[in-house]
A = this chain, B = another copy of it.
Amino acid sequence: MTVPDGRSFIEEGSPAHDFFVVTDGRVKLFTLLPDGRRQITGFAEGGDFLGLAASTSYAFGAEALGTAVLCRFPHASMQRLTDRFPNLEHRLRQEASRELSLMQARLTLLGRKTARERLATFLMERIHLLAPPCHANASQVEFDLPMPRTDIADYLGLTIETVSRVLSAFKREGLINIRGITHITIMQPERISAIAEGLE
């Protein structure tokens, strides 16, 4: 199942028939308020699971971020799979629990952190998504942000203007460098990390 950039493939609140695995590319998950306010509840990429809740309707919408490739498993066939491979059920629980732990951190971010702390935390998250060797003890790390500023804002519970201002401030302070729109170099990872934890 290939989903083109920007195409929505899960409608929030619609009946949940399928379970998905992201094979390639990226997707964003979000919830909406009636007046259009949006909260992005997560980004998923290769290897991530979607729709773990075998409940009756989806608690979120999902949309491709760039072209994405997914595997779709109707609940019935998942049932058959878990019957045949009991370990799978354990694996799914592990996955759900891991996600749950991440959510705790995200609640703290949205409920208690300042804009600077949110952006710093977001940058650290991106660093940890890179292959481990890249950030072991490097004094600089670089990567591309796959999502536009609007998505970063909706993920962090901020406005696009605030995201832009804080990134500019980080750049002005020599903590990061920005090339083009998407390419970020973290100049001082340890200071970004300190800001993320609320230590400065």
| Interfacial residues, chain A to chain B (CB-CB below 8 A) | 29, 31, 33-35, 37-39, 41, 52-55, 59-60, 82, 86, 89-90, 92-94, 96-101, 103-108, 110-113, 154, 156-157, 197-199
With A39-B107, A96-B96, A107-B41 already in contact, the answer to whether A53 and B113 are too (CB < 8 A) is no
Q: Are B198 and A35 in contact (CB under 8 A)?
A: yes
Other-chain contact of A104, B59, B154, B198 (Cβ < 8 Å): B59
What is the distance, in angstroms, from A147's C-beta to the closest C-beta of chain B?
16
Q: How far is the CA of A81 from the CA of B52 in the complex (A)?
A: 23
- Please name all residues of chain B whose beta carbon is closer than 8 Å to the beta carbon of A97 when the two chains form the complex: 52-55, 96
Q: Are B33 and A100 in contact (CB under 8 A)?
A: no
How many identical chains are in the complex? Answer: 2
- Please name all residues of chain B whose beta carbon is closer than 8 Å to the beta carbon of A93 when the two chains form the complex: 52, 54, 89, 92-93, 96
Q: Are B39 and A111 in contact (CB under 8 A)?
A: yes
Greatest chain B CB density within 10 A among A35, A39, A107 is at A107
Q: Are A111 and B157 in contact (CB under 8 A)?
A: yes
Other-chain contact of A86, B86, B98, B157 (Cβ < 8 Å): B86
Other-chain contact of A33, B34, B53, B60, B113 (Cβ < 8 Å): B113
Other-chain contact of A37, B60, B94, B99, B112 (Cβ < 8 Å): B112
Q: How far is the CA of A34 from the CA of B98 in the complex (A)?
A: 23
